[in-house]
Structure 1
Amino acid sequence: MHAVESDEDTEERERREEAQAAVEQAGEGGSIVVDGDELDDGYESDRATSASTSLAESMRDYIFENGRRYHRFREGRYNFPNDDVEQQREDMKHAMVKKLCGEKLFFAPIGDSPQEILDIGTGTGIWAIEMGDLFESATVLGVDLSPIQPEWVPPNVRFMVDDVEWLHPRNHFDYIHSRHTVMAIKDWPRLLRRSLEHLRPGGWFELHEVHHCPISDNGTMPPNHPVAQYWALISEGLTRLGVQFQAVADGRMKTMMEECGYINVQEQVFQIPIGTWPKNKVLKMVGIFWRTILLDGIQAIALGPLTRGCGWSREQVELFLIQVRRGYLDNSCVAYMPLHIIYGQKPETSY
C-alpha cells in the first residue's frame, strides 16, 4: 500500500514545485506565465517589510543632502543615501534575489570549504553574515563606504569602511563577491583587474547586477512611459557623474571579464517581474518585493543623479516622481528587469 500524503506534505511539495517553476520561468530561456486576473489591477498597495541593523550612533559620520543621509567617507563616490529606510530596502533586495534564485547565495563553483571571502560593497552586511554562517571555516570580509553594518556578527565575519580592501597580498582570496554596485563603479576594468590580482589561482569572482532598464514582455511600454523616462534620466545623470550605469547590459560585463584574463566565465540572466502580474506564486511575491523596493527607493535613487548629474532642483524631482509612482502600479505593461549573474575564474597558472 502507498502511504497517504498528509496535507502538510502536500503543501511542502507544492511550495517546492512553485519555487522550482519560478527559477525555470525567470531563468534564461524561460518565460514567466502571466496571471491574467492581475493585468487590470494597476493600483495595488502591497508592501513587504524587512529589518536591518547598523553600528552605534557614536560610530557614524554622515552628511545630509535634500533631506537624506549620505556617507561622508570619500564623499560623492556613491550617489545614494545610506539612512535606515535605504538599509531596509537593501535587506529586502537581498531577500528578493534569494527567492528569485532558489535561495542561492552564490553560483560560482567555490567548493565546500573556501577560506578567504571578500564582499565588495557589502551594504548592511547581510550577505556576508549569511556566508559566514554557511562556511564556518572561512574568513569573510565585507567592505563598504558606509559604516552601517551590525556590531554583533559571526566570529568569522568582519567589516571595514573603505572603498575596496586591497591591504591583503595578491593571490589571497578564494572568492570575491559584489552585487548591486553598477550604480557606483566608475572603472569596471580596473576593479576586475584588481580583483583578479588578489584572487588565488583557481579562485572565483562573482557579480550580481540588475540592468535597471524596464522591459515590457508584451511590448506595451513606450519610451514616454513614466517608468521608462525615469530610468533613462537616472542613466543620463549617472553617466554625467562618470558612472558606467549600462556596464552589465548586452553581455558587456562577461566580455570585460574575459578581456581581463578570467577563464570559465559564465553568465545567467533572470527576469525580475515588476508587480503582481506573474501567475507563479513565488514570482508574484518576487514582483511585489521588487515593486516595493523600487517604490520605496524612488526618491533615494533619483535625488543624486538628477540633482548632482542633471542639475534638477529637489522640487522638480519630487514633482516628476508623482507620475513615476503611478507608472509603477501599471501591471498592464507586464514589465520586468534583467538580473545578470556573471562569474569567472582566475587561471591556475598566472601572476
Structure 2
Amino acid sequence: MAYATDNGHDSSSMRSGGGSTDQTRSSAVTRPLAQTSMSTLTASSSSNYSSSVSSGSQNQSGGIPGTPMSRRSGGWDRHTLSPAAAARARFDDPMIEDHVVDQPSSLRLQEDLDDSSDSSDEYMTSYKPLERKSTKASGSRSKRFFQSFVKKLTKSSVRYGLVPNSPQEQDRNVIQHTIMIDVFRGRFHLAPISSKPRRVLDVGTGPGTWALEFAQKHPYCSVLGVDIEPVKPAATRSNCSFMTVDITHDWDFTDGGNFDFIHIRQLGDIQDKKKLLQSAFDNLKPGGWVELTEWIAILQSPNHSLDGTAFRRWNDLLEQGMRTFGTTLYYPNHFKPLLQETGFDHIIETRNGATTNACYPGKKLQRIGHLMTQNWLLILEPLTMPVFTQALGWTPDEVKSFLVDVRKEIPNTKYHSFMTLITFCAQKPLNSSSTSSKSASASASASESSLPTIK
C-alpha cells in the first residue's frame, strides 16, 4: 500500500539527504516501571530510511564515532575499536566480556565528525518545544541550556517501581526527552505513519511534553496522553488531552481506541509485556503503527577505558541486582518476538548509541554527552539505592560511599562509553479485525547497531 509517511520532523529545516540510516537504537537512563522493573536507556536514529525487509521484519542502525581522529583531543585513533562496532552488538549474551556481543565483520565508520566546520545545528532547528525559542547549546553552555529547559517544562511524571516520583525525577524526564529529540535529529517518532494522523495515543506520557509537542505539530490530530499518575502539563492545547490510566490493566478507550499511532517509551520492564502489546494491537486501526522505545542500560566501552572503574563495577552490580529481582537490563530485547507473536507486521528494530559523557568530538555529540551526564547523575542514587539495598544487601551508607567514586567518573571524558537506545516500530495488518490476531509474523534478519550519525 502506498501512502504518505511522516517521520516526525520538519523537512524544511533538515539537510537534504543528510544522515545515514540502518536503524537499531540505544542510550540514556529511564524511569523504572512495574514492580521490580526499571527503564533502560536508549537514543537515536538518522535520516535516509535505508532498510532491508525480510518476511515483514526490518533491522536498522545509525552510524557514528570511531574513525581516525588522533589529531583531535580525546578522539579515536585508527587502531582503537570503534564504538560503532561495539554498538552493533545483538546483546544475545549479557555475560560476554566487556558487554559487547557478536560484532559484525562489516564496519561502517563515520568520516566527517570534524566540528571545526560545524557551525550550524540544522537538525535541531526542527525541534521547537512549547514556550521555548531555541534548543541550541553546546560545550560549557549545555548546563544553562538544560536548566532553562527544565524550569520551563518540568511537570509531574509517572513511575512504576523503583524510582520515586520526586521533583528531581521530573527534571530528569524533561532532560531525557531533550536527549531523545536530539538523537532522533529533531524527529518525534521513527514509525512511518501517515502524514495526517487523526488519533494518536501517548502511553506513559509522564510530563506530557511529547504529547503536547506532537499535537502542536499536528493541529488536526486528536492526541491523548495517559499515565498512571495525574498529568499536570505546563501548557494546554485544544487537540491534546490527558487521562490517568494504569496501562497494565485492560484498556477502555472511547470507540475502542481506533488509534492511527500508539507511542510508548520509557515504561520500563513491566511484567506482562504480552498483555501490553495485545492492548496496543486491539486499540489500533488496521494499518496503524505502534512504537516502543527503551534504554538498554549496559555500558559499552569500545576502547575498554571503563575496565576496573567504579562506574563499570556499578553497572555490573546493577545487572546482578536486577537479576535477583527477576528481571534484567536487557529486557527491551524481549519485545520483538512478542510483537511477532501478537500479530504485528513490518517490525522495524532501530538501535542507536548515546554517549555517557562529552568524550566524543563534535558539537552535537558533546551537547548530548553533557545532557546524558546530567541524566546519569540525577538517576544514579534513586535507582541504585533500592537495588543495592534490597537485592544485594548493602547498607545505605555503603551505597552512598560507593557512589562518590562513580559520580566522579561519569563526567570524566577519559572514559569512553555509551548506551543503547532501542526502538521497535510495528504495523497492525490492514486485513486485521479490531480484535486480536494471534497469527505470528515469522521474520528474521541480522541486526546491526552503532552510534548515531550527527553531522
Residue 289 of structure 1: aligned partner: 371
Q: Closer, same or farther in 2 for the Cα pair 1:173/1:309, shift >3 Å?
A: farther
Check whether the contact 2:289–2:425 (CA below 8 A) recurs between aligned residues: yes
CA RMSD of aligned residues (A): 2.9
Specify the alignment match of 2:155 in structure 1: 54
Partner SS for 1:333: coil
Write the letter of the residue equivalent to 1:28.
Answer: S
Structure 1, unmatched stretches of 5+, are 1-14, 56-69
| CA drift at 1:285 | 0.9
> How far apart, in 2, do the equivalents of 1:199 and 1:242 lie?
31
In structure 2, distance between residues paired with 1:24 and 1:202 = 24
Match of 1:199 among 284, 304, 307: 284
Per-residue CA deviation, residues 13-65 of structure 1 (Å, 9 max, x unaligned), is: xx969x8489669x82623147741379xxx997342323436xxxxxxxxxx
Per the alignment, residue 9 of structure 1 pairs with: none
Q: Specify the SS of the correspondent of 2:374.
A: helix
Percent of aligned positions that are identical = 26
- The answer on 1:115 being equivalent to 2:198 is yes
Q: What's the CA shift string for 1:103-148, capped at 9, x where partnerless?
A: 0100111112212211111111111111111111222121222335
Q: Secondary structure at the match of 2:181?
A: helix
SS in 2 for 1:214: strand
How far apart are the structure 2 equivalents of 1:113 and 1:24? Answer: 22
Q: Contact conserved, 1:174 with 1:199, CA < 8 A, in 2?
A: yes
Which residues in structure 2 correspond to 1:158-173 (within 5 Å)?
158-164=241-247, 166-168=251-253, 170=256, 172-173=258-259
Q: Secondary structure at the match of 1:235?
A: helix
Give the unaligned 5+ runs of structure 2.
Answer: 1-13, 21-43, 48-59, 77-138, 436-455
Identify the residue that residue 349 of structure 1 maps to in structure 2: 431
Asked if the contact 2:209–2:233 (Cα under 8 Å) also holds between the matched residues in 1, the reply is no
Please name the residue that 1:32 is paired with: 65
Match of 2:173, SS state, is: helix
In 2 relative to 1, CA 243–322 (structure 1 residues): closer, same or farther, beyond 3 Å? same
- Deviation sequence 1:159-194 (CA, Å, 0-9, x none): 222211711254621111111122x41222221122
Secondary structure of the residue aligned to 2:177 is helix
**Aligned counterparts, 1:106-185, within 5 A:** 106-150=189-233, 152-164=235-247, 166-168=251-253, 170=256, 172-182=258-268, 184-185=269-270
TM-score (norm: length of structure 2): 0.62
Query: Which protein has the bigger helix share?
Result: 1
What does residue range 14-93 of structure 1 map to in structure 2 within 5 Å?
Answer: 20=19, 28=61, 30-33=63-66, 36-38=72-74, 47=143, 48-49=146-147, 50-51=149-150, 52-54=153-155, 77-93=160-176
Counterpart of 1:320 in 2: which secondary structure? helix
Q: 1:205 to 1:29 in 2, by over 3 A?
A: closer
**Mapping 1:328-339, distance limit 5 Å:** 328-339=410-421
Question: 1:272 Cα shift?
Answer: 0.4
Give 1:245 deviation, angstroms: 3.5
Shift of 1:220: 3.1
CA contact 2:45–2:351 (8 Å) conserved in 1? no
CA 1:217–1:329: 2 relative to 1, 3 Å: same
Counterpart among 312, 316, 336 of residue 228 in structure 1: 312
After TM superposition, the structure 1 stretch with the greater mean CA deviation from structure 2, 283-292 or 235-244, is 235-244
The aligned counterpart of 2:32 is none
Where 2:336 maps in the other structure, the secondary structure is helix
Q: CA deviation at 1:217?
A: 1.7
Report SS of the residue matched to 1:201.
strand
Contact 2:281 2:428 (8 Å CA) reproduced: yes
Cα gap change, 1:269 to 1:167, in 2 (>3 Å): same
Residue in 2 aligned with 1:95? 178
Q: Is residue 358–residue 411 contact of structure 2 (8 Å, CA) maintained in 1?
A: no
Is the partner of 1:332 in helix, strand or coil?
coil
When residues 191 and 281 of structure 1 are mapped into structure 2, their CA distance, relative to the original with a 3 A threshold, is same
Aligned to 2:389: 307
Which of 322, 327, 339 is 1:238 aligned to? 322
Match of 2:169, as an amino acid? E
SS in 1 for 2:219: coil
Alignment partners' CA distance in 1, 2:160 and 2:356: 29
Query: More relative contact order in 1 or in 2 (CA 8 Å, sep 6+)?
Result: 2
Question: What secondary structure, in the 3-state scheme, does the structure 2 residue paired with 1:38 have?
Answer: coil
**Does structure 2 conserve the Cα–Cα contact (< 8 Å) formed by 1:230 and 1:324?**
yes
What letter corresponds to residue 191 of structure 1 in structure 2? Answer: L
When normalised by structure 1's length, the TM-score is: 0.79
User: Aligned pair in 2 of structure 1 residues 24, 160: CA closer, same or farther (>3 Å)?
Assistant: closer
Structure 2: distance between partners of 1:98 and 1:77: 23
